[in-house]
Structure 1
């Protein structure tokens, strides 16, 4: 019917117009039959039917041929249009093969993907950067979300593909064999860790036994670590998300600002960890150099450890540790370009060194508001860093008291940490007023893993922070608070006090994954840095190193830290007159020649072993200035000589300690 109406409409327009053209042409035939023949020829040429004249049969056959030709051309145009449409639909669905080489592959989708993609792009700044993302989501939505996160002016080329991550054919679409690195992210589903193991198995089937790109994956539950390591094989590195987040919460509770320091050290926007060879100009013969002498051999780079020929790192070793010919230096620098050695010993002023002193810190009181699956790991990590007699009070909803009490009873933490649990609605201000908040050394606020119904898990945390901030302002006292958030966009919304900090769940894991993907040799370094025992990042009061009020170079601070068995990497300046604004300025990797006046409120960023300071019997939470412990000292786990990491007696102990760390 549609074709018939189309034919009638064409004839109704073409024939009258052709007749009008013929009748208005001065050169047209005078006879009626001649003019009708001219109308026929004009109409036939317009409709592409040919224009033969003569017998009616001949004209009918001409019309038939014209219609057949028109149908053939229309069919050809339809086939081409349909093929192009299907091809575009397939491309839009993300089912085509990626033809790139040396690109980064990201498998999975969660809140971590924005941090991972952003850091991968920052790591390749100035070079051609292609990132292929494969997830079981709509391609257009992924491209729009990632483009908005990176910014419209980003030079990164994003290639998104959609499909099942556990299917071998789907994984082959992103050509992981030709990639420079592959990162596997856990989703937000309850069975995310099992899915990561299946993805690693499928990836292993795609890559085969041949050498391929380094694979970095993350799991949430430590019970899935053995399976994930077996599935990843020798090329894989597994990062434990929940344990890393719990450890960061504890470190941030120990000293406000540690989270900011770790973020600055692990992202690609400032200083990062690098591996460099020992400069020939400072190498002392074939026997090697002493580690303490190498701390002042660079002006901008900061030496923090040694990586042995076997790949075993040693962070913040003793000053008399010998660095052999096959060892490499672990440095913190602004870029990976080797720096020419400079003798900075001339800038050290020994008269500015602070007098050695020791201060024992007793038990602490910690308040934990909320509970989630990372809370037992937090209790365990907290038990390793406090003195005996410390107290942890947990406040949860009434329905959670009994199961939380059972989960919080950690055998490892029971010897030092007494855990008590009580019920209370955190969204009611009167419940918080009854807690004697200012009697605690620190307050930790945890968000829920998921929320049934409307809202976001971060909503309760933000409201709790708002009420804590109001109580802090009303009392006119400093309240140290560490809060856990799930969405990095809510960091700017959090109402924080001068001694408060925010930990974004999974952010540190994302930064670690990007760093290891960019330089796989750093996996062992980060495993040592975030292990339960060993070296870690600390913020120490500046009066531990220099006399308050004196002017000294940063080389002086480095030398003073060396005497304490520590490696100074930067400082955090505090402005007491800044009010509620930006009171702190963090500087990592300053020049050794930089001179400034060191005040009592300033802090020095150091990499130190937990065994440093053998006069302290146990590790404790750093006291916040102005709270119960005004001296602000901190202690670390005792055992071993100052500045030396406890040695491993056997490979079995190495493997046991590695299971508690963050990297495999």
Structure 2
């Protein structure tokens, strides 16, 4: 080869000075020639075949099965033609095959059944049959193995929960949470009258793990199928996998990263249903700013539920009056009485007070107007107009029927005015993010001079962080205590309390540990305040896990709130009827209506009267009467028939919905 000259041995042109930097940066003239002279590798046929085979394997078993099936069929054809073309004698001990089809058939028999060639008589046909059988052992055997492996992969794929859901009219739950068991339980009850119902859960967890957890928590699903799929609620493809557009409702859980995951799931729904014209969507959002943003951006079509707000409101109301938690649970679950909406044109032109006694088996609590607004406990003089719907508590939609407007004589009360309640002294043991909301809610109903003592474990909560600003009627005092039995008993024994509230340290410990501390606290308080004794004090406790309620009852609790269950019940209710959101929002709003128990003699005397007369007496005070509570037993009678005879004593109470103000 000739010499390859470079810039270093080439003389510089006259008048041009070549700097060292330029010489180093400039590529050599022959450099490209050197690269072009590299030999090009030419793959052999076997390398090409192996390369194609590797690519086929990478595509999965389906492609390989196709190639092996074609190769196996090719063996049938080739050896079948050989049997016929060469007039091979002795096949099965007989004469040569008469045609190619028979030859292919005989070749196939030797591939499928290795013992077929045992009947061959001559050595040439024996050798050919032996070769065909060996090919069948290796190739057809591989084909069968791949088919079996493909089936196993398909079954494994089904176990992983990645197959499409073909359900329609189902409820989709997005995100996995321990609260899902309570939601599924309520949906099973709601679907009890349907022959073919389904609940589909899409979570990031393993499908088998979700199914095992639900099987242990929900033992009887009735007519409802529970289907689990593994995937991301934030991916549109996974939402299509569960047939979200074919669902009737969607519940978005704040699982994993909390609000972030719920927001992503709502936005993923928007990608496949931009105007939210498909299923009803209910999302669990804790941050009120995020909740307001979602409602604004979706034109109020996505209903949001603030778990902490709901739990705090119900806990505070349950602490305020005995029996309210029982009423609220009854309204939130699908077992027993529920809240229904329905139009009754025959009531148009009548007042709300007239409508209160026009239903034998339903108790009214408000009106829904044609513009979409909801009015809980409107004034008795409010006239129903065309398009108004009645909101009532009823056992079932079949019992929500109007029996006609009739004149009802109000019962004669013994008390013309309300009694003046004295200030109260409450103790709250434990603290969490719910604490300020509970104390603030109690303050709204408290009279001037009420004192709230908060006892916290300094190892879990800094006493300096226990602050509730803007209390109008109550004084907040904070005490540090490890909440051990002796120390806690000594702390509360020196004070006279009207009520005790036990909150879980939900922000500092796991649910199981939080409930364990709650149970020990209950036992300690009951040692100081024995039930039925002179110092008996009503105790309300927050329980995080439903399974611990029975233990709390054994510990002496008078009333309890299962935090996660409350939120689950509301999510399940709103997924079936999103219009209930405005009713619950009004009942749980500081400026809206409220459920409360009032002294019985405020509405009725000592004579037994029909319940309709008690309802009419409440209408005179612009209150919607829903039932009564018997003080001796603590039992609450919600939505009794209007014809039921009522005889109440001074200690009993009437359950009403009243406007705040």
In structure 2, distance between residues paired with 1:502 and 1:289: 41
Match of 1:260 among 326, 331, 334: 326
CA change 1:367–1:567 in 2 (3 A) is same
The aligned residue for residue 462 of structure 1 is 519
Shift of 1:144: 2.4
In structure 2, distance between residues paired with 1:339 and 1:495: 35
In structure 2, distance between residues paired with 1:216 and 1:546: 42
CA change 1:299–1:385 in 2 (3 A) is same
CA contact (8 A) 1:478 1:497 kept: no
In structure 2, distance between residues paired with 1:355 and 1:383: 26
CA change 1:57–1:297 in 2 (3 A) is same
Match of 2:653 among 596, 603, 627: 603
In structure 1, distance between residues paired with 2:401 and 2:235: 50
The aligned residue for residue 553 of structure 1 is 610
CA change 1:207–1:343 in 2 (3 A) is closer
The aligned residue for residue 134 of structure 1 is 202
Shift of 1:96: 0.9
The aligned residue for residue 78 of structure 1 is 145
Match of 1:373 among 429, 433, 456: 433
Match of 2:392 among 320, 331, 335: 331
The aligned residue for residue 322 of structure 1 is 383
CA contact (8 A) 2:192 2:222 kept: no
In structure 1, distance between residues paired with 2:328 and 2:126: 87
Match of 2:638 among 557, 582, 588: 588
Report the TM-score, using the length of structure 1 for normalisation: 0.78
The aligned residue for residue 390 of structure 1 is 450
In structure 1, distance between residues paired with 2:134 and 2:165: 44
Matched positions, count: 553
* Aligned Cα root-mean-square deviation (Å): 2.7
In structure 2, distance between residues paired with 1:270 and 1:454: 29
Shift of 1:586: 2.4
Q: Map Cα deviations across residues 476-504 of structure 1 (whole Å, 9 max, x no partner).
A: 43211111111111111113688821011
Matches within 5 A, 1:4-83: 47-51=114-118, 53=120, 55-83=122-150
Which structure 1 residue ranges, 4+ long, deviate > 6 Å from structure 2?
Answer: 43-46, 496-499
In structure 2, distance between residues paired with 1:454 and 1:491: 13
Matches within 5 A, 1:206-605: 206-209=272-275, 211-230=277-296, 234-280=300-346, 282-283=347-348, 288-337=349-398, 339-343=400-404, 345=406, 348=409, 350=411, 352-399=412-459, 403-410=462-469, 412-413=470-471, 415-436=472-493, 439-449=496-506, 456-473=513-530, 475-495=533-553, 500-548=558-606, 550-575=607-632, 583-605=633-655
In structure 2, distance between residues paired with 1:153 and 1:320: 46
CA contact (8 A) 1:315 1:535 kept: yes
RCO comparison, higher one (Cα < 8 Å, 6+): 1
5+ residue gaps, structure 2: 1-92, 94-109
In structure 1, distance between residues paired with 2:405 and 2:350: 16
Q: Map Cα deviations across residues 595-618 of structure 1 (whole Å, 9 max, x no partner).
A: 14212332222111122xxxxxxx
Report the TM-score, using the length of structure 2 for normalisation: 0.78
The aligned residue for residue 8 of structure 1 is none
CA contact (8 A) 1:201 1:232 kept: no
CA change 1:504–1:203 in 2 (3 A) is same
In structure 2, distance between residues paired with 1:498 and 1:149: 26
In structure 2, distance between residues paired with 1:65 and 1:295: 90
The aligned residue for residue 151 of structure 1 is 219
CA contact (8 A) 1:276 1:338 kept: no
Shift of 1:397: 1.5
CA change 1:175–1:49 in 2 (3 A) is same
5+ residue gaps, structure 1: 1-36, 38-42, 576-582, 612-664
Q: In structure 2, the residue corresponding to 1:384 is in which secondary structure? A: helix
The aligned residue for residue 110 of structure 1 is 177
CA change 1:76–1:416 in 2 (3 A) is same
In our comparison, the structure showing a higher alpha carbon Rg is 2
CA contact (8 A) 1:105 1:132 kept: yes
CA change 1:223–1:325 in 2 (3 A) is closer
In structure 1, distance between residues paired with 2:494 and 2:634: 24
In structure 2, distance between residues paired with 1:52 and 1:62: 10
CA change 1:453–1:214 in 2 (3 A) is closer
Shift of 1:371: 0.8
CA contact (8 A) 2:501 2:539 kept: yes
CA contact (8 A) 1:571 1:605 kept: yes
CA contact (8 A) 2:433 2:507 kept: no
Q: In structure 2, the residue corresponding to 1:421 is in which secondary structure? A: strand
In structure 1, distance between residues paired with 2:402 and 2:519: 48
Q: Are 1:177 and 2:245 matched, yes or no?
A: yes
CA contact (8 A) 1:370 1:447 kept: yes
CA contact (8 A) 1:462 1:494 kept: yes
In structure 2, distance between residues paired with 1:45 and 1:255: 81
In structure 2, distance between residues paired with 1:489 and 1:367: 26
The aligned residue for residue 123 of structure 1 is 190
In structure 1, distance between residues paired with 2:310 and 2:384: 30
Q: In structure 2, the residue corresponding to 1:275 is in which secondary structure? A: strand
CA contact (8 A) 1:372 1:449 kept: yes
CA contact (8 A) 1:229 1:236 kept: yes
